[in-house]
Amino acid sequence: MGGVTTLHDPTRRGFASDNYAGVHPEVLQALADANGGHQTAYGDDVYTARLHEVMAAHFGAGVEVFPVFNGTGANVLSLQSMLPRWGGVVCAETAHINVDENGAPERVGGVKLMTVPTPDGKLTPELIDRQAHGFGDEHRAQPLVVSITQSTELGTLYTPAQIKAIADHVHSLGMTLHLDGSRISNAAAALGVPLAAFTTDVGVDVLSFGGTKNGLLAAEAVVVLNPETVHGLRYLRKMNMQLASKMRFFSAQLIALLEGDLWLRSASHANAMAARLTAAVSGLDGVTVPRATEANAVFAILPRAAADVVRERYKFYDWDAATGEVRWMCAWDTTEDDVDDFARLLKEALAG
C-alpha cells in the first residue's frame, strides 16, 4: 500500500492561526464518502446540488452558492461581481481585504479599496460616510459597496442590530453590503444566533462563507443572498481560477460542516478555549489583555522576551511589534491542556 510518511509531530500545537489546525475527522470521512465512481465535473454533481439545499436551510430560499478554493478568492469574486469597473469598496483600514490579501482585490479584482480607520475593526454608518461621498464625480472611484468582517480582524463582533443599521444606511445610499465571513461560525456561536440572523435577515447582500478556519481542508463559498446585486459570478469564478473541476469534494466538505451542527460545535469549542486562555493569562503580572475576547481570538500585550520564550513551544504572531501586542488564535482542536500548558509556560517566562 502506498502512503505518505508523517513528516510532522502531530502533538505539536500552536496559537498562531486557526488555519494551522488539521481537518476535522468528520470532514475527512465526508471526503471519503464522496469518493468513488464518476460525478460530473465543475459543479454539475449531486453534492453541489445538495449544498444549495443545505445553504438555503441556513440563509433562506433562493440563495446562490459558488464554492471556491480560499477566502481571498471568495472576497475578490464577491466584490468583483458586485461592482462596475469604476466602483470602490468602503472597508475598515484593518480589513483582511486591505491588509492581508496582497492587493488581490485591486490587482485581480480591479476594485478600489476606500479604507476608514476604526477603533475596534468595526464600521458604523458614520464611519462609512467618511468615504461614501462623491457620487457622480467622474474624478473619483464611486463608492458602491461596503465590506464588513464578522468576526473582525480585531476579534470583535457586530450585533445583528449593528449590521442592520449598516445595511439600511448603505442601501439608502444606493450601495450594497458584502460580509467577509471567514470566521462566521465563530461569530454565530458567540452571539448565540442562527447564521441568517446577522446576514439574510438584516440586509447583507453577498457573503464570503469561511470553512477552512473551522475544520475544512480547502473549501470556502460565495453565498449570494440578494441575486439582484451581482453580475457574472459564473464567469468570473472561472476567469479568476476559482472553479474546481472536482467540485463534489469541496461541496461535500461544506455539507459535512453545515448539514448538522459540526459548524456550531467546532466554533463554540474554539471560542470556549479562547475564553479559557483569556481567563488564564489575565491575572499574570506583565500581561495586559487590551480588549474583550468575543470569539476565538485573544489579543495581549506582554514583554517581547517572555513572548519569544513561549514561542519556542507554541508559535504565535506579533500583532503590533511596537507595543508588544500579540494575537493568539484558538481552533476547533485546541484542548484545555493546550491552553493550560501555554499559560503555565507564559507564567514561567514572565517570572524568569
pLDDT tens by residue, the chain, 352 residues: 678 899 999 999 999 999 999 999 999 999 999 999 999 999 999 999 999 999 999 999 999 999 999 999 999 999 999 999 999 999 999 999 999 999 999 999 999 999 999 999 999 999 999 999 999 999 999 999 999 999 999 999 999 999 999 999 999 999 999 999 999 999 999 999 999 999 999 999 999 999 999 999 999 999 999 999 999 999 999 999 999 999 999 999 999 999 999 999 999 999 999 999 999 999 899 999 999 999 999 999 999 999 999 999 999 999 999 999 999 999 999 999 999 999 999 999 999 8
Residues of the chain by 3-state class (helix, strand, coil), percent to 5: 40, 15, 40
Q: Taking the chain, what is the end-to-end CA distance rounded to the nearest angstrom? A: 50
* pLDDT value of position 162: 98
Contact predicate 148/163, CB 8 Å? yes
DSSP states along 272-339? HHHHHHHHHHTTSTT-B--S---SSEEEEE--HHHHHHHHTTSB-EEEETTTTEEEEE--TT--HHHH
Quick one: which of 181, 130, 183, 187 has its CA closest to 158?
187
Alpha carbons within 13 A on the beta-carbon side of 236:
22
Quick one: which of 115, 101, 125, 189 has its CA closest to 151?
189
d(CA 228, CA 271): 35
d(CA 147, CA 159): 16
- List, in order, residues 6 or more apart from 213 with CB less than 8 Å away: 17, 18, 19, 182, 183, 186, 331
* pLDDT value of position 352: 84
Q: Which amino acid is at 314?
A: Y
d(CA 334, CA 329): 9
Instruction: Please tell me the pTM assigned to this model.
Output: 0.97
Q: Domains in the chain, ordered, with CATH?
A: 25-258 (3.40.640.10), 262-351 (3.90.1150.10)
With vertex at residue 109, the alpha carbon angle to CA 105 and CA 112, rounded to the nearest 5 degrees, is: 60
Contact predicate 167/203, CB 8 Å? yes
Per DSSP bridges, beta strands 142-149 and 176-181 are parallel
Contact predicate 236/105, CB 8 Å? no
* pLDDT value of position 200: 98
* pLDDT value of position 2: 72
* pLDDT value of position 1: 60
Quick one: which of 180, 194, 338 has its CA closest to 263?
194
Which cell numbers in the block locate residue 211? 470553512
